[in-house]
Amino acid sequence: MHAALLARRLPTRAVSQSLRSYASKPPNGSQSPSPASNSEPTPPAPTPETPQPSTIRSLDFTSTLEDDKKQRTGAKSSKDSLSSIEKKRRIYGRVSLLALLLGAGAYGVYLGREWEEEELKAKRLTLETAPSTWSARARTRFTDLFDFFSKPQWNELLPPPLPAPYQKPLTLLIDLDDFLVTSTWDRQHGWRTAKRPGVDYFLAYLSQFYEIVLFTSQHYYTALPIVDKLDPHHFYIVYQLFRESMTAHNGEVVKDLSYLNRDLSKVILVDTNPDFVKTHPENAIIVPKWKGDPKDKGLIALIPFLESIGIYKPADVRPILEAYRGKDIPLEYAKKEAEAKLKHIEEWKASGAGKGVGRLTFSSLFGGSSDPAQSSPIPPTYLEAKRAEAQRAYREEQLWIEQNRAQLEKEKEEQDKAMQAEMSGSLWKMLGVGAGGPPAQQQQESSGPSQAAATATATAAAPKAP
């Protein structure tokens, strides 16, 4: 302890000098000869050729490489000697890796095989449209393994068409948001949905010519209540397709009509978003969005164009849509129909049947009056005659609905109750309570088809007009 205190008091220079003097002393405590003593001769200094080992103690305690080599025991490294189990593991690993590579190569060759008829049918392809090279076939089949979330839930979005004469010759796909309705939100009322002017007439009138299918980007749980308000008795909208029926295409969701299970030459898609129709733009009509204007006439103005296609029933609607692409369809079609009407009048006059006819009015030019006493002597065109029939059928249908509204409301209420009971019974079955659900549900199942199914069948079979 005293030495430590003394060392602390000594200056740094003194401590370093003491260490040097200690290192210069010979070993075994021998004293160095004084310079005055000459009793023994001084040994000669070692020459550079014969180095002598140093006897001076060193403060460097780091071991050198030679010392490490001297301290090695000579035992053999385990890196160079493997046990038999480890050797087997390595062999099995290499064999497994080789088998995996061979299997991957064989599977790649199998993916590039020629197309089969059933496979092309499932992919909705033909030999002309399907990839023809081996690499393209393999890449197509390989990517199909990972497109579970990029395809619709079903390979066919619609059931097979009904047999004639129940199936309409054309299919009309219509959007919901900003086309039939629009939704707004404010702090006072929250979300509110408004119907576009003329939407009831649009659906009821065109349902005579088209199989109307609602195809919206909304999910079913938000769109179903709106559809129920638009068509409460399910007379006009035959099917509904929601967000779950859309596909992913280059990172965007689209309405891929190849999954529709319909002849695309008979399909028209009306939408407000051009990004949704990228896969089939030749079947699409892009219209401006409705922003909630209560005086809007865009929906009504589109009816004559769609009506004419439904009346003439062309073999392929796509060339007609291509002719109007990028144009104001209601305005352009009105010009075409007016030109056709004038041509019809000139042909009628040239045939001699128009002699002695009085003056021609604007209303008579387009068949404005339905009264035979006030109607024009000019015979109507084929389009005008069919239009008059369709409008008469529409008025009769609306009259029948108005006369049977109470009965329709009652049937709808019963159908909703039966559907709720059926859903409740399904929940009981899922939870495993009882043998077949609640007693009321068991009674319905034992007595035959449910009331909901019977009501739906009767509604579908009932005529729309008396």
| Phi, psi for residue 240 in degrees, rounded to 5 | -125, 130
Up-side HSE of residue 201: CA atoms within 13 Å toward CB? Answer: 15
Catalytic residue among 147, 175, 271, 371: 175
Q: Tokens 């559809």 belong to which residue? A: 227
For residue 256, which amino acid is it? D
Is 175 an annotated catalytic residue? yes
Q: Running DSSP on this structure, what letter comes out for residue 177?
A: B
Within 8 A by CB and 6+ apart from 95, the residues are none
3-state secondary structure of 248: strand
Within 8 A by CB and 6+ apart from 438, the residues are 424, 425, 428
Q: How far apart are CA 19 and CA 15, in angstroms?
A: 6
Q: How far apart are CA 221 and CA 242, in angstroms?
A: 9
Packing angle, helices 134-144 and 84-111, rounded to 10: 110
Catalytic residue among 60, 144, 177, 186: 177
- Please provide the distance, in angstroms rounded to a whole number, between the alpha carbons at the two ends of the chain: 123
Q: How far apart are CA 290 and CA 175, in angstroms?
A: 12
Is 177 an annotated catalytic residue? yes
Q: How far apart are CA 175 and CA 255, in angstroms?
A: 11
For residue 106, which amino acid is it? A
For residue 35, which amino acid is it? P
Q: Tokens 């859309």 belong to which residue? A: 246
In 3D space, the residue among 270, 240, 276, 271 whose CA is nearest the CA of residue 255 turns out to be 276
Q: How far is CA 86 from CA 97, 130, 136, in A?
A: 17, 51, 43
Q: Which residues are catalytic?
A: 175, 177
